[in-house]
């Protein structure tokens, strides 16, 4: 982060520039941050622990201000959907997660974030948006539900219908948590999807995304009827997928043979007398 941005918030905590500069120097000399200009911790874990310690040691008013800062930054258009996704999954997996759930993921905040997510206009942004939606909807302090999201944003059907390599895994998580929240709603939601369009998208699959698509198909088809499953699997481009799997297996076989050859050569060289 930039010093100007940080100082803007430091003064809200009643600190002055002298205090700010002295703390930066201390953090730098202690090797907690990399530079006093472009301020960044050595590792994401360091940032997590700093936040956790702050929440433990700070006053109620300081924590309230901190939560407000987080909300404002996450709602800022300068913060990318990918950045929001990374932050949520990093911080909310830490021991301070309960406080962050309760005080950051308020109903109004969640509503605004979801609204922004559904403004995503390409696969990269939609994948990040889906990760965010999956994370903040239907959780233990969930301020929203998938039933509410589907009702307010029917565009989610269109998103799933146009699933692709980049979004398959993210959408599989939404389908998984939709099922966890309400299996009957999951079944109803899937029944309204355009299965023909989804299977057509499978013709674009590449070997790098086999796992993502496998996860998507698994979460899509869970609890569906035998008739639905039969119809779905008839439409899958079997030959295309089979060729990709064969190509991938060939690559793995070649890599394994190369490893064996290298290992054998090393073994021979080790036994050659000087």
| Half-sphere exposure in the Cβ direction for 249 (13 Å, CA) | 6
- Looking at residues 22-38, what average pLDDT do you find? 76
Model pLDDT for residues 218-237, shown as the tens digit of each residue: 999 998 888 998 998 889 88
- Looking at residues 231-255, what average pLDDT do you find? 79
Q: What is the C-alpha to C-alpha distance for residues 252 and 88, in angstroms, rounded to an integer?
A: 35
**pLDDT at 243 (0 to 100):** 83
- Between 214 and 269, name the one with better pLDDT: 214
With 0-12 CB in 10 A as exposed, 13-18 as middle and 19+ as buried, what is 270?
A: exposed
Least confident piece of the model among 21-35, 163-177, 242-256: 242-256
With 0-12 CB in 10 A as exposed, 13-18 as middle and 19+ as buried, what is 167?
A: buried
Model pLDDT for residues 135-147, shown as the tens digit of each residue: 888 665 556 889 9
**pLDDT at 37 (0 to 100):** 62
Whole-model pTM: value is 0.80
> Please, what's the b/e burial string for 44-79 (b: 16 or more CB within 10 A of its CB; e: otherwise)?
eeebbbebbeebeeeeeeebebbbeebbebbeeeee
**pLDDT at 28 (0 to 100):** 81
**pLDDT at 94 (0 to 100):** 62
Q: Percent of the chain having pLDDT more than 90? A: 37
- Between 61 and 52, name the one with better pLDDT: 61
- Looking at residues 152-170, what average pLDDT do you find? 96
- Looking at residues 249-257, what average pLDDT do you find? 67
């Amino acid at each position: 982060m930039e010093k100007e941005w940080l100082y803007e918030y430091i003064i809200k905590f009643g600190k002055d520039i002298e205090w700010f500069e002295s703390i930066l120097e201390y953090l730098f000399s202690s090797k907690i941050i990399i530079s006093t200009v472009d301020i960044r911790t050595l590792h994401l874990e360091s940032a997590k622990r700093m936040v956790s310690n702050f929440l433990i040691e700070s006053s109620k008013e300081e924590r309230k201000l901190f939560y407000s800062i987080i909300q404002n930054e996450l709602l800022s258009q300068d913060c990318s959907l990918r950045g929001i996704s990374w932050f949520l999954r990093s911080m909310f997996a830490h021991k301070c997660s309960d406080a962050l759930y309760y005080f950051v993921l308020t109903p109004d905040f969640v509503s605004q974030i979801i609204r922004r997510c559904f403004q995503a206009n390409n696969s990269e942004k939609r994948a990040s948006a889906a990760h965010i939606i999956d994370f903040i909807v239907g959780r233990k302090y969930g301020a929203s539900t998938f039933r509410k999201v589907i009702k307010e944003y029917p565009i989610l059907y269109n998103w799933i219908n146009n699933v692709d390599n980049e979004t398959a895994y993210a959408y599989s998580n939404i389908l998984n948590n939709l099922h966890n929240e309400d299996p009957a709603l999951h079944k109803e939601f899937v029944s309204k999807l355009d299965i023909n369009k989804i299977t057509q998208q499978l013709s674009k699959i590449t070997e790098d995304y086999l796992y993502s698509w496998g996860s998507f198909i698994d979460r899509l088809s869970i609890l569906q009827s035998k008739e639905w499953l039969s119809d779905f699997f008839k439409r899958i481009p079997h030959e295309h997928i089979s060729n990709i799997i064969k190509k991938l297996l060939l690559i793995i076989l070649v890599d394994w043979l190369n490893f064996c050859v290298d290992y054998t050569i090393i073994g021979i060289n080790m036994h050659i007398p000087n």
